[in-house]
Structure 1
Amino acid sequence: MPRVHRCRAAGCHNMVEWPANYCSQHQSLEATLQTKRDYWKYNHVTRNRSSSKREQYKFYKTPQWKHLRQLVLDRDYGLCQYCKANGKITLANTVDHVVPIEIDQGLATIAGNLATICTDCHRQKTAWEQSYYGTGQANSHTGLPEIHDVKRVAKLMQQSKTAQRRG
């Protein structure tokens, strides 16, 4: 006899055979579930593969980081500092290190090295950091000088974005 369980869709009482998660009526939700699993795997397995990355991730769970994060959000009034440097006003709720921890561990708890950043700018900045500093899983550090100024980083991010569109 096959193993069955309820469909995972909220309020649905249809029965489904394992290993399926949704009935035929809610099959479109299967892709969403896979995306959630991939996200979980990245955050809990891939991202923490090396010991240094594991330590960085632990830091973001500490009360010290939570207090520092709130301090920076209040200081920046919840506005993306990178958009602000480009003359735009964007609400944001992420706090990012201007100089990545991977480059300088000593700047991890310095409020002056932190800035509020929106999702789009964070994605662009991560890509820019990978090309400029050589950060990331498989990259090696380039040895280029640290840039501590948000306005300068925003300008370099824009230049990098423009260059990618052209080429």
Structure 2
Amino acid sequence: MKPKKLCQHASCHELIDYNETYCAKHQPEKKRGYADSYQYKKNKYGKYFKFYHSKQWRKLSELYRYENPCCEICLANGVVRKADVVDHVIELRDQWDKRLDKSNLMSLCHSCHYKKTKEERQKREVIH
């Protein structure tokens, strides 16, 4: 006979094998690993995900950041801050053919990129 113990879940009185942590009812959900997360995003975002992981985009964004090292929004407000992200002025969802057009790019810091993305999402929700 194998030794038994109580399930670790609060107020559960189910006996389980000693090498287990929780009973079948209280098993925590399995967390996604990197590979699962990568595959999930690849399936969900399709061509956009593939584009942002392409050699073309990585080289273009690196070159653009090299040529424009400061956040363009901060610079317009008189603040000099390092750019972390290259963003599309017109989103890819709206004009896919402008994905490699340098005139459609802008260097942004994380903070400005987050604000711009949030505003774009809110506009998109209002339309739909």
TM range, smaller chain: 0.5 to 0.7
Aligned to 2:8: none
Answering whether residue 59 of structure 2 is matched by residue 56 of structure 1, we say no
Deviations 1:29-88 (A, max 9, x none): xxxxxxxx679576652x4454xx221011111111111111211120x21111112221
Aligned counterparts, 1:1-167, within 5 A = 44-45=39-40, 47-48=41-42, 50=44, 53-76=45-68, 78-132=69-123, 134=124, 139=125, 142=127
Large movers: runs of 4+ above 6 Å: none
Q: Which has the larger radius of gyration?
A: 2
* Native 8 Å contact 2:52 2:58 kept in 1: yes
List per-residue Cα deviations over 1:114-160 (Å, max 9, x = no partner): 1111111111011111123x1xxxx47x39xxxxxxxxxxxxxxxxx
Aligned-pair identity (%): 25
Q: What residue ranges of structure 1 are gaps of 5+ in the alignment?
A: 3-16, 20-36, 144-167
List gaps (5 residues or longer) in structure 2.
4-18, 22-30
Equivalent-residue separation in structure 1 for 2:92 and 2:77 (angstroms)? 24
Any idea what SS the aligned residue of 1:91 has? coil
What is the aligned length? 104
Over the aligned positions, Cα root-mean-square deviation in angstroms equals 3.2
Alpha-carbon offset, residue 93 of structure 1: 2.1
